[in-house]
A and B are shown apart, each in its own frame.
Chain A
């Protein structure tokens, strides 16, 4: 009768306290007003962040801390694990590309002197969080030792390799693994019965697909590369995109005029026409998704508040990176603020 409630009572209540510690606009504004990085970091002193000299390390530590915290308090380990799998798939991309680059050097694809050695995978490209140990991933990619690898990872790796064999194109690896990551997330969310997350992922996939559509056209890619990069789980079907692929990007606004995303598309296209940049659309997309996420705050019992908090924290880290990178490179307050998204609190 109350199994569901008592399953989530503890973690949701704890999340409520954690939510109060998310950074609000006031604090972000104070960071924006700071003269340099050091001063901006000082604003974070009384927060969850362990402020250090290296802000990238600080941000990645915070990400690690949040995942550890949520893994500890979530009633179902699968809930947090499925978000961690995204990072596994990213690491798979890195390991796979490093290996293929090395092999390619042997075949004369790339100058052997420039290719990284297979045991020297660029460390900076790897996330040090994930659901699977990095060594396990590396063994699977480099030695074909997939015994310890969970099934979704194994299948994804095989598909990525098979696709690469066909195209010999590094983009294929990204595309296949991005698609696999999305399919996995959606299937997992549906399997765990979290409609909220299924819906969120669908919206995210749709909006990413719209951005991909515009970017593909800007880059002059053809239909097949767009189809390759098309993410599953969205509500907007691929065929709809392909119908208008040969028309100018504006056609997409008419095609999806009836959808939820019409205002974002329209605004995005307006800015695209003005300065040729899609970053406004990307910002509007993030804000839209965050607003959808905010609904999770009003759920009393269930996984939603935890998911909301987790993604809100990822958003917060993204915002801090925008501010700190901006401050470190002397961008003006306005330029930085223009890029900032929104806060969850």
Chain B
């Protein structure tokens, strides 16, 4: 069985969809974690609240993974060595479908991380206002969700016939 360039593009799309939001989330979660240790050094009781803030930038990675899994299903990756052989346009479409969550997931995770890390300050000074800090961080999530939605719709919309 000979691999097509289309399939290679398809795999690239999957890789982008999973990797970039994952990187973004890692950076975001890491940033909140750094800030969180600052608070926990002085006040260990705040751990629970800070953990709540820390997981928020982690969602983009999950969206990326979900998108990747769906694409893998579409490309029949799970058939152990017998993926669908795509034409070049089909492969390009897979890449396009992956792009929204890849790009938006990447950036939004980082920015959400900044917002959440700033929110750690709120948790430190006014624990009772934690909800507001969480809301600010969640606002960034909107765009990750929209991008995820777009990616999903695009994935469902890719017509795949494969190379005959």
Contact = CB atoms under 8 A, between A and B. Distances in A.
Interface size on B, as a range, is 20 to 34
Contacts of B124: 13, 16-17, 19-20
Contact of A9 (B31, B42, B43): B31
Given A2-B113, A17-B42, A18-B42, A9 B125 contact: no
A274 interface: no
A261 B27 CA distance: 44
Given A10-B37, A16-B39, A17-B43, A2 B118 contact: no
Interface in A11-25: 11-20
Given A17-B124, A300-B118, A301-B117, A2 B38 contact: no
Given A2-B114, A300-B118, A14 B39 contact: yes
Interface in B1-56: 27, 30-32, 34-39, 41-43, 46
B31 A14 contact: no
B83 interface: no
A337 to B, nearest CB: 27
B162 interface: no
Interface in B119-159: 120-121, 124-125
B65 interface: no
Contacts of A19: 124-125
A264 to B, nearest CB: 29
Contacts of A17: 38-39, 41-43, 46, 124-125
Contacts of B35: 9-10, 12-13
A1 interface: yes
A277 interface: no
- If over half of B's interface residues share one DSSP class (helix, strand or loop), that class is named, otherwise mixed; here it is helix
A19 B110 CA distance: 27
Given A1-B110, A2-B110, A10 B27 contact: no
Contacts of A332: none
Contact of B121 (A1, A5, A13): A13
Nearest to B107: A1
Interface of A: 1-2, 5-6, 9-20, 73, 300-301
**4 smallest A-B Cβ distances: which pairs?**
A13-B38, A14-B38, A300-B118, A16-B124
Interface of B: 27, 30-32, 34-39, 41-43, 46, 110, 113-114, 117-118, 120-121, 124-125
29 contacts: A1-B27, A2-B31, A2-B113, A2-B114, A5-B31, A5-B117, A6-B34, A9-B32, A9-B35, A9-B38, A9-B120, A11-B38, A13-B36, A13-B38, A13-B39, A13-B120, A14-B38, A14-B39, A16-B38, A16-B125, A17-B38, A17-B39, A17-B42, A17-B125, A20-B125, A300-B117, A300-B121, A301-B114, A301-B117
